[in-house]
Amino acid sequence: TETSFKGFTLVMHKIFTAIQVKLQDAVQHSMDNKEISQLDLFSQDTNDIFIRLEFSSVIKSKTHYDDVRKALLAMAGLTAEIPYFDPNGKKMLLMTGFLRAVIPEKADFEIRIDKKLANLLIEIDKKPDGKPINFTKFSYEIAQAATCLHTPPIYKILSAWKSKEFYKIRYSEFRNY
């Protein structure tokens, strides 16, 4: 899935990275060409998946709870357009918010994401033989320890290209990360 993070704050990057980690079992199922609907994450009889995140997975200091709430509010305001086909094969477009968050005061929080959008986050591009491509492994701890806004996306780019030993990008494109 191609994703643009222009306008993300550092806390938003950390929340998105924490969501990615929670989706890893489903991503691995996708890479192995297994059905994800039997996973606990997708077994609820709703159109959403529910992901519980601990504040400590996003921030280290309890004094920054408000920063997480503000970041979640901003992320809830992001929209996503999801193309799909209905049961009759008719091409459809679902327009939805990126996520919804349920935040108890001073406790862990719950992220709710539309299942169709979650599928887009989970699905891995594959070669015709079914082998995954465009999949990057990176250290969760390094991404979450970032103190600069640009570190998480740059680190993920470098992780994706480390086996090639170089990465060339125009400055104008780089600014979009």
Task: Write out pLDDT tens, residues 49-90.
Answer: 999 998 888 888 878 888 998 999 999 998 888 787 888 989
Let me know: does 79 contact 87? Beta carbons within 8 Å.
no
| pLDDT-wise least confident of 21-35, 36-50, 161-175 | 161-175
CA distance 128 to 54: 39
Is 121 strand, coil or helix?
Answer: helix
Largest CA distance in the chain: 51
Q: Given pLDDT bands bounded at 50, 70 and 90, which one contains residue 6? A: low
Place of tokens 């601990």: 54
Q: At what angle do helices 10-22 and 151-161 cross, to 10 degrees?
A: 50
Indicate whether 148 pLDDT > 50. Answer: yes
- Give the pLDDT of residue 2: 41
List CB contacts of 148: < 8 A, sequence separation 6 or more. Answer: 10
User: Helices then strands (H, E): number in the chain?
Assistant: 7, 5
Length in residues, the chain:
177
**β-strand partners of 81:** 95
